Amino acid sequence: QGGSGGGGGGGSMGGSGNGGICAWGDYRLPNVVVPHSYNLTIEADLQPPRQVVGQVDIDLTLKQAAACIVLHATMDVVKVTLDGDDATWERSKEQEGQLLVVLGRERAAGGGLLSLQFRYTLQPTLSGFYLSTSTGPDGQEQSMALTDFEGTSARKAFPCFDEPQLKAKFHLTLTADRGLTALSNAPEEAVTEAGGGKLHHSFQETEPMSTYLFAMVVGNLSYVHWEVPPGINGSQNHTIRVFGVPGRPKVQLDAAAGYAAALLPFYERLLGAAYPWGPKLDLVAVPDYAGGAMENVGLITFRESYLLADPQTAGLQEHLEVASIISHEMSHMWFGDFVTPAFWGHLWLAEGPATYFENVGGEQALPGSAFLDRFYADSVTRFLDHDGTGEGSHPLATTIGVSSDDMVESFFDPVAYEKGASLLRLLRAYLSREDEAPPRLLRRSRQLMALPVGHGADVTGRGRVSSVDSSSSSGRGRRVNGSVGSLGDLSRRRVQQVVAGETGGGDGDVSDIVSDSTVPSGGDSSPGYPGDDLGQGPGDLGGDQRQNNRPMPVPQGPDQSVSSSDSSGSRNSASSGGSGSAATTFSSTDAAGVSSQGASVPGEEDSPPEVQGAASSGDGSEGDSGQEDGRRFFVGLRRYLQTHRYGNAVSGDLWEALAATSGEDVGKWMEAWTYQPGFPLVTVAFEDGDGNSTEGARLGASQAPFGPQELRLNCSGACVDPECSNQPGASRPWWVPLAYTTAASNGTGATPSRWLEMDSCKTGLQIVAEGSRLGEAWVKLNAGQLAPLRVQYPPLLWDRLAGAAAADHVQLPEVDLAGLLDDSWAIAAAGHGAIAPFLNLTRALGQRGGAEYSPWKVVSSHAAAVAHLLAAAPGQAACLPRWTSYVRTQVLAAGLQAALRGSSSFEVGAGDSTSLRLARPLLLQLAGHFGDSTIQQEAQRALQLPEGPPSDLAAVAAAVAIGSGSASAFNEALKQFLSDPSPEVRDRARGALAAAATPAQVQRLLTACLPGGGARPQDVSGLLGGLLSSGTAASPTAWSFMQQQAEQLHKKLGGTTRAAAEVAALVVQAAQQPACKVTAAQLDQLWQRNGGSNGAGLPRKPYLPTARAALKQHRRWLRTHAGPLCHWLREVE
């Protein structure tokens, strides 16, 4: 739709000069305009017809003479001028979302003011500037309007140059009804009368930032605020405010504020940079939000249940989730906002560090949470599964070919998030190694200790139906995946205690941050530091309150108050008091197991692999090697942030900064990891060719790209070697640093681990057992699972590793057992090995006993996958019952006994360790899934108790009861999902409903997912994804529904590009679940009706190829492994 006078211009598409610009057809904007600032005036009416009218004045520079300007705008543009002269405009015929402004005459290079007036209507689209509604405490509907712009939706709210490298300053005046709260990135500078019952809210000008990070919120909100001291010299006091719609308990807002108050000064000190966005940080809980959260500069928006957790009723997992998501988003204030990827092909520079720091920061926000102990099971495996299919894989960074919004959407995946984080974790470990004496990364598992209840849930308090989130969408911010119905992420693994220290000063010099071995060699322990005033995390109770018999306390901080807007727009505050915060410090061990702080810390003598290493000199200097405690890693991050402050960066900029501070050729190390898709499979082999040799055997290692077997044909997918070097599908070798360990000569444990570095297809170094004789020993590569890759062993070593795993955690720590289980499964599924190693390791897990989170997290999903595959295996009718019996009697029995202390009830004890609290739901869920009638009956009994099950077990109790056919459990969960006022309760109920067992129940849930149905749009992907992945009779029913209703689902989810990607991701979930019975013909038909501009507008790549690859993998698995597995089961009966 053009403006008055129509458009003009001619010339060739994409050419240079005015002809090219006036006929622009490229996805990227022409490199002609540099915007400097946006002066934006918007009036938003939340009452029907909910009109938005506005004007934006863009101060810009033309880099060359031009007769046309190309920018982004999707709304109705009313008028355009340049320096007061009228211009015409028209929509791009080639690129949706681009607006061509025709100036009428050629304008010389230089400055100018481009002004555009616009209008549109607020819609519940979950992107752009959109409408959100909820039910208030009085039962009446209340509305709010807010923004979610990542990645390409700022253009839906106001005309702009909507590319991340085109940073500019923003000044906003937002006009809204009196009595509503208005928020934006910067502090409010003035409120003036607008007439007609409205007020003008003007905000200070921001620092330069990308358009997708600009934000606005207007609505009826209440809030709390905390005043937080600076973390480093040169910073300032900060105000942290947490907002929610009326009716959200103050205790929940305060808990979130406490996490943020602990994190902000911590990040300042760790990163050596003051919080870049002024004196305030706002966190807003939103009733309708497509993703998990969004890192808008100074104004972070969250799905309600991802920001607010009730200290009285939330389970431990929910508190951990909230802490990690807040940590993720706040780290974005530096990674992503302060320094922004130059374009979407380098998205990982924002999401990779944030995913890593959600773990580092999570341990600061929630002391004792030990997020990094769970990093492999919860994060690395997700990326390996996603990136190992051969389809849908893409490089970590790409410099060319970003040519559509669909492609931008596809970058928000585990490659950008978990792969990026995994590589940073690896670099931190390797840059912290000891040259002469490699760090003792693996010795034995840490003695597990209980988490003070102040850091978790009320273990005796009774909650309603509880579950984790089952969303599988590619939502923005920290994404939370998993489903009760699909044996998803029910809990996190291990939580350790920490010690509290005294408050100290400091200016944030790196010696304050990484001295005294607080970030040990190879380590990921959260670096709390002697003498640092990092602030006390919420609920850090200490000594005498470490009993699991109290609800989580409200974190107390300085100068707390709760505020809300009255009808005049003024603030009324009621002080709630609070205490000053004490410092929290973390201790760790050196390579000899000695506390670096000179004090004995319970459990630290058994530090896990990621928190061990050499002690520093303690004087703050880097010493001779400059390697201790991850110093070189963190100094490199500081250099990166300071070099590119308020600017943009590409991947090479980060590697350059790390190289400059470490003296290592990091850029060369990371070249293949950055620009080559996938990851390596490292294969261990006997050098003498004797696979049965036990004396004098020597081992070597080689690498090749991991992927389905068919990719290896004709050298395609092979590592470059002389016979394959000219093949276009051949792969360059990755730089692979591997920590490895062997059985100790006395047979009572493992040796200290050593580093092996590979930078070619086959290592020139040989891996040998002690004394250069293999004997009866074993060798474990990738000790601690630090490198994001898979390892294949010869049969003899697989057998010996299974034997070591069965012994106890002294022989093989739990993270290494988890790695062996996941590698053996994936290698078999890809066609590179037999199924026997995986089966032997599952039996070892059963013989090992105990309730260790990481191996159970891995095996739960794979055990269920075997059952689903066998159900589809022709001619193997007796095999599925054998597998079910085997899992229940030989795998689960000992672990379940340890988790339940010999009983079968859904109960918890005051003395339960945190590890037990986290692993127990996994074991109970697996038992229910495999038909343990006793557990199923106990789940139903627990739900019938007046007080309900304990909060830690409410999720699994509801899911098991619903899955075993309890109509009352289903009806109660459905009622909560559709109408409970608590977002926390609604989320729990949604996860439990994925276990629906009857056709009538499933149909009720599917109907709720349609337009007009009771499910909120933000919950549809999670609910439908859980049904598709459940592996029950619900799966094919949900798949049939998807085929018929794809267009309606797209509409329900907002009708946007992001919504189309969500629907396509659900199709992939269906293809990955054998019980859905997806066929290639069905996939083709679905895309014919709904691909491109048809129907739901589903993007083709990477979704359709990934779905097809999943079908091929199922067929390969059944053809290759069903028979041997069934034979193996008969042998072990």
pLDDT at residue 488 tops 60:
no
Q: 521 or 509: whose pLDDT is higher?
A: 509
Work out the pLDDT band at 774, boundaries 50, 70, 90: low
Distance CA 980, CA 938 (A): 25
Cβ atoms within 10 Å, residue 501 = 21
Q: 11 or 1124: whose pLDDT is higher?
A: 1124
pLDDT at residue 687 tops 90:
no
pLDDT value for 709: 66
- What order of strands is seen across the sheet that includes strand 222-228? 293-294, 299-303, 280-286, 238-244, 222-228, 560-565, 571-577
Work out the pLDDT band at 729, boundaries 50, 70, 90: low
pLDDT, average across residues 811-837: 95
Out of 34-48, 899-913, 960-974, pick the least confident. Answer: 899-913
pLDDT value for 630: 67
Record the tokens describing residue 318, joined without a space.
């929910």
pLDDT value for 585: 22
pLDDT value for 475: 39
Work out the pLDDT band at 524, boundaries 50, 70, 90: very low
Residue pair 493/446 in contact by the 8 Å Cβ criterion: no
pLDDT value for 296: 98
pLDDT at residue 465 tops 50:
no
Out of 205-209, 392-396, 462-466, 667-671, pick the least confident. Answer: 462-466
Q: Give whole-number Cα distances, 706 to 59, 823, 1116, in Å.
A: 50, 11, 16
pLDDT value for 477: 52
Distance CA 285, CA 255 (A): 13
Distance CA 1124, CA 837 (A): 12
Record the tokens describing residue 324, joined without a space.
């990690």
Work out the pLDDT band at 718, boundaries 50, 70, 90: low
Could you tell me how far CA 145 lies from the centroid of its own chain?
26
Residue pair 68/103 in contact by the 8 Å Cβ criterion: yes
Residue pair 102/87 in contact by the 8 Å Cβ criterion: yes
Q: 950 or 875: whose pLDDT is higher?
A: 950
Please name which of 302, 254, 295 lies closest in space to residue 277, comparing C-alpha atoms. Answer: 295
pLDDT, average across residues 818-841: 97
Distance CA 1029, CA 394 (A): 25
pLDDT tens, position by position, 266-288: 999 999 999 999 999 999 999 99
pLDDT tens, position by position, 149-195: 999 999 999 999 999 999 999 999 999 999 999 999 999 999 999 99
* Residue found under tokens 């955690």: 809
Does the CA dihedral 532-535-538-540 come out positive or negative? positive
pLDDT value for 362: 94
Distance CA 324, CA 355 (A): 9
pLDDT value for 341: 98
Q: Which residues have C-beta within 8 Å of that of residue 16, sequence separation ≥ 6?
A: none
For residue 141, what is the DSSP state? E
pLDDT at residue 636 tops 50:
yes
For residue 404, what is the DSSP state? S
803 Rama sector, left if φ>0, alpha if ψ -120 to 50, beta otherwise: alpha
Helix axes 983-993, 967-979, angle to 10 degrees: 140
pLDDT tens, position by position, 834-865: 999 999 999 999 999 888 999 999 999 999 99
Q: 1013 or 95: whose pLDDT is higher?
A: 1013
170 by DSSP, 3-state: which? strand
Helix axes 814-829, 1103-1132, angle to 10 degrees: 110
Cα distance from N-terminal residue to C-terminal residue, the chain: 72
pLDDT tens, position by position, 32-62: 999 999 999 999 999 999 999 999 999 999 9
pLDDT value for 689: 52
Distance CA 1037, CA 1035 (A): 5
pLDDT value for 448: 24
pLDDT value for 994: 95
Q: 809 or 917: whose pLDDT is higher?
A: 917
pLDDT value for 313: 85
Record the tokens describing residue 1080, joined without a space.
């290639």
Work out the pLDDT band at 9, boundaries 50, 70, 90: very low
Work out the pLDDT band at 519, boundaries 50, 70, 90: very low
Q: Give whole-number Cα distances, 343 to 334, 418, 464, 586, 651, in Å.
A: 17, 19, 45, 38, 11
Out of 98-112, 601-615, 620-634, pick the least confident. Answer: 601-615
For residue 1062, what is the DSSP state? H
pLDDT tens, position by position, 120-145: 999 999 999 999 998 888 888 999 99
Residue pair 413/386 in contact by the 8 Å Cβ criterion: yes
Q: Which residues have C-beta within 8 Å of that of residue 331, sequence separation ≥ 6?
A: 267, 353, 354, 357, 358, 361
Q: Give whole-number Cα distances, 163 to 31, 109, 205, 297, in Å.
A: 11, 21, 20, 16
Record the tokens describing residue 497, joined without a space.
């205690």
Residue pair 788/822 in contact by the 8 Å Cβ criterion: no
pLDDT tens, position by position, 358-382: 999 999 998 878 899 899 999 999 9
Beta strands of 878-1036 (E only): which ranges?
none
Most confident of 231-235, 350-354, 701-705: 350-354
pLDDT value for 1059: 93
Out of 97-101, 109-113, 873-877, pick the least confident. Answer: 873-877
pLDDT value for 557: 35
pLDDT at residue 694 tops 80:
no
Please state whether the peptide bond connecting residue 705 to the residue before it is cis, i.e. omega within 30 degrees of 0.
no
Beta strands of 434-506 (E only): which ranges?
499-500
Name the average pLDDT for the chain: 80
Residue pair 963/975 in contact by the 8 Å Cβ criterion: no
For residue 1032, what is the DSSP state? S
Across 260-283, b (16+ Cβ under 10 Å) vs e yields bbbbbbbbbbbbbbbbbbbebbbb
pLDDT value for 898: 87
pLDDT at residue 474 tops 80:
no
Record the tokens describing residue 377, joined without a space.
């099971």
Q: H/E element holding 268?
A: helix 250-271
pLDDT value for 485: 34
pLDDT at residue 601 tops 50:
no
Q: Which residues have C-beta within 8 Å of that of residue 912, sequence separation ≥ 6?
A: 450, 459, 548
pLDDT at residue 411 tops 90:
yes
Residue pair 191/569 in contact by the 8 Å Cβ criterion: yes
Out of 99-108, 767-776, 1022-1031, pick the least confident. Answer: 767-776
- Residues 343/346/351/352 CA torsion (nearest 10 deg): -160
pLDDT, average across residues 785-812: 91
pLDDT, average across residues 449-466: 29
Please state whether the peptide bond connecting residue 151 to the residue before it is cis, i.e. omega within 30 degrees of 0.
yes
pLDDT value for 765: 61
